[in-house]
Chain A
Amino acid sequence: MFELLGIPPQALFGQLLLGLINGSFYALLSLGLAVIFGLLNIINFSHGAQYMMGAFVAWMGLTYLGIPYWGALVIVPLAVGATGVLIERLMISRLYHLDHLYGLFLTFGLALIIQGLFRNSFGVSGLPYSIPPQLSGGQNLGFMFLPNYRAWVVLASLIVCFGTWFAIERTRLGAYLRAATENPTLVGAFGINVPRMITLTYGFGVALAAFAGVLAAPIYSVNPNMGADLIIVVFAVVVIGGMGSILGAILTGFGLGIVEGLTKVFYPEASSVAIFVIMAIVLLFKPAGLFGRTA
């Protein structure tokens, strides 16, 4: 069939892999946005900047402190997540009594400030971050060459996404989170500390973005705009999947990465708009998104 369409399998699988890699990042980032939106009702516009912070903090850890990639994978999400906790406590929490738009404005402003600070300090040319030695090289699968690091990115994203889904949908802690998303007042009346849960949820969403940033550091060059470039597509993914749906964010993230990859094979000219065309179509027929609950 590939030959009939005049496309060599190497190109097809190569683009499929690339789509899967992009999808891994779309999924991680839209998952964090969905978790935050679910409980806080805020569209976290600084998500891209926090992803970029993940990559930069990994770079700084390696360059200044000698913290290797594997250490960064654990420490960086915790550190950047902690900045998220501070931002929620000091700023976002003061806006809950106002229209949700204010949360969007605040996080958008924060994104601009964070990006500006990093641009000032590090320039825009991008910094190199090498692939950890354990994951250099690749596998020849016969029909294509699979770089080890890229396989790891897909695997790591799948593990974290599934782990998050499991924690939210299948555990007691997740039940608190789902209940508080539906009716925070009543959950508070059961004796549960909802404000603290909101703070930790925001921190967790930010940590997911930072984790994606660390994963991205060896593939994409570490530069202050890396988040801003990606986040627009991620917002489209979230809209397509449905705001606040955990499984929707994950499936749509991977699915759209693959669709984008395939578009590059079959009609390259459309590849950069494919996701937005899909978004427009989904909005026409299912305004709440593919997995969204219609209120």
Chain B
Amino acid sequence: MADAARKLESATSALAVRDLQAWYDESHVLHGVNFDVAPGEVVTLLGRNGAGKTTTLRAIMGLIAKRTGSVHFEGRELIGLPAREIAKAGIAFCPEERGIFASLSVDENLMLPPVIRPGGLSRDDVLTMFPNLRERLSSQGTKLSGGEQQMLAIARILRTGSKFLLLDEPTEGLAPVIVQQIGRTLATLKNQGFTIVLVEQNFHFAASVADRHYVVEQGRVIDMIPNTEIQNNLGKLHAYLGV
């Protein structure tokens, strides 16, 4: 029964991760991660530092050389593919360190990721969504403030036509007013049909944007909590996250 339910779930999901294991050199970091993301959902991976959240995103994206298991995306198996093929399959990645290029202007950073399928936001749509960037287009990418760099890092992957986003800690180190702005952006993207997997340390931010939360501990997903039931599970979550 549970098996049948799981099969059904993975058949309708945009992303199905099964027994994902990953290694950095010799150290075994992911020990069998399982989770699903339905189309149009915003899902978070919550967990303490070092639990394996960032590694999970990087393993899905093909940025970790040694990985096993299954990453099923829109009916395709991605586990053996190089990162560039995974990007072309329709997954866009925004790294924790934001990855803004110092030798490129803001505009060049924005226009860098190639369009992989039609239906992405136009340059103008993106600049309407992030008006701060419009005034800084000719600046060096890394001359932007931390918040602006984060917006640029999200903005540039919205152009590609990928509707499935992996965002690694987009609120880290940012002022509350910027965090709110990013929260509103994610809500807008969800309304436009984007599917988002979000790694977060900021639990309150996660609760304000997500449909479901997966709790990661020691390289495994150990629990799933729908956002609607979060009030009833606060004690459990605090125990997981050590807040």
A interface residue numbers (CB < 8 A to B)? 172, 175-176, 178-179, 181-183, 185-194
Give CA–CA (A178, B95) in the complex, Å.
Answer: 19
Contact A186 B104 (CB under 8 A): no
Contact B83 A189 (CB under 8 A): yes
Q: Would you give the 0/1 interface string for B107-123, flagging 1 where the beta carbon is closer than 8 Å to chain A?
A: 01001111010000000
Q: Interface SS of chain A: helix, strand, loop or mixed?
A: helix
Contact B113 A190 (CB under 8 A): yes
Contact B111 A191 (CB under 8 A): no
Residues on the A chain within 8 Å of B116, using CB: 191
Query: Which 3 A-B pairs rank lowest in CB-CB distance, beginning with the nearest?
Result: A191-B87, A190-B113, A178-B103
Contact B113 A175 (CB under 8 A): no
CB distance from A221 to the nearest CB of B (A): 41
> For residue B102, which residue of chain A has the nearest CB?
A182
> For residue B98, which residue of chain A has the nearest CB?
A186
Contact B104 A188 (CB under 8 A): no
CB distance from B166 to the nearest CB of A (A): 10
Contact of B84 among A181, A182, A191 (CB under 8 A): A191
Contact B114 A190 (CB under 8 A): yes
Residue B63, interface by CB 8 Å: yes
Give CA–CA (A52, B211) in the complex, Å.
Answer: 65
Residues on the A chain within 8 Å of B104, using CB: 175, 178-179
Contact of A189 among B87, B102, B108, B111 (CB under 8 A): B87
> For residue B87, which residue of chain A has the nearest CB?
A191
Residue B99, interface by CB 8 Å: yes
CB distance from B99 to the nearest CB of A (A): 5
A185-B83, A189-B83, A190-B87 known; A179-B114 Cβ under 8 A: no
Contact B61 A189 (CB under 8 A): yes
Residue B160, interface by CB 8 Å: yes
Contact B102 A190 (CB under 8 A): no
Contact of A172 among B62, B111, B157, B160 (CB under 8 A): B111
Selected A-B contacts with CB under 8 Å, 20 pairs: A172-B108, A175-B104, A175-B111, A175-B112, A176-B112, A178-B104, A179-B112, A182-B101, A187-B112, A188-B82, A188-B84, A188-B87, A189-B86, A189-B95, A190-B112, A190-B114, A190-B160, A191-B84, A191-B113, A192-B84
> For residue A177, which residue of chain B has the nearest CB?
B103
Residues on the B chain within 8 Å of A175, using CB: 104, 108, 111-112
Give CA–CA (A190, B86) in the complex, Å.
Answer: 9
> For residue A187, which residue of chain B has the nearest CB?
B112
> For residue B91, which residue of chain A has the nearest CB?
A189
Indicate the member of A183, A187, A191, A192 with the most B CB atoms within 10 Å.
Answer: A191
Give CA–CA (A207, B112) in the complex, Å.
Answer: 26
Contact B112 A191 (CB under 8 A): no
Contact of A186 among B95, B108, B160 (CB under 8 A): B95
Give CA–CA (A283, B163) in the complex, Å.
Answer: 50
**4 further A-B pairs in the complex, CB-CB below 8 A; given A182-B101, A185-B83, A190-B84:** A172-B108, A178-B101, A189-B62, A190-B157
> For residue A170, which residue of chain B has the nearest CB?
B108
Contact A189 B84 (CB under 8 A): yes
Residues on the B chain within 8 Å of A193, using CB: 84
Contact B88 A186 (CB under 8 A): no
A172-B111, A179-B112, A194-B84 known; A189-B103 Cβ under 8 A: no
A175-B108, A175-B112 known; A191-B103 Cβ under 8 A: no
Residue B93, interface by CB 8 Å: yes
Residues on the B chain within 8 Å of A185, using CB: 63, 83
Give CA–CA (A178, B142) in the complex, Å.
Answer: 14
Residues on the A chain within 8 Å of B99, using CB: 183, 186
Residues on the B chain within 8 Å of A172, using CB: 108, 111
A188-B83, A191-B113, A193-B84 known; A181-B103 Cβ under 8 A: yes
Q: Would you give the 0/1 interface string for B25-48, flagging 1 where the beta carbon is closer than 8 Å to chain A?
A: 000000000000000000000000
Contact of A179 among B61, B95, B101 (CB under 8 A): B101
Residues on the A chain within 8 Å of B101, using CB: 178-179, 182-183
> For residue B153, which residue of chain A has the nearest CB?
A186
CB distance from B194 to the nearest CB of A (A): 17
Chain B residues 144-197 with CB under 8 Å of chain A are: 157, 160
Residues on the A chain within 8 Å of B87, using CB: 188-191
Q: Would you give the 0/1 interface string for B76-93, flagging 1 where the beta carbon is closer than 8 Å to chain A?
A: 000000111111100001
Residues on the A chain within 8 Å of B112, using CB: 175-176, 179, 187, 190
Contact B84 A179 (CB under 8 A): no
Residues on the B chain within 8 Å of A190, using CB: 84, 87, 112-114, 157, 160
Give CA–CA (A188, B85) in the complex, Å.
Answer: 9
Residues on the B chain within 8 Å of A179, using CB: 101, 103-104, 112
CB distance from B98 to the nearest CB of A (A): 10
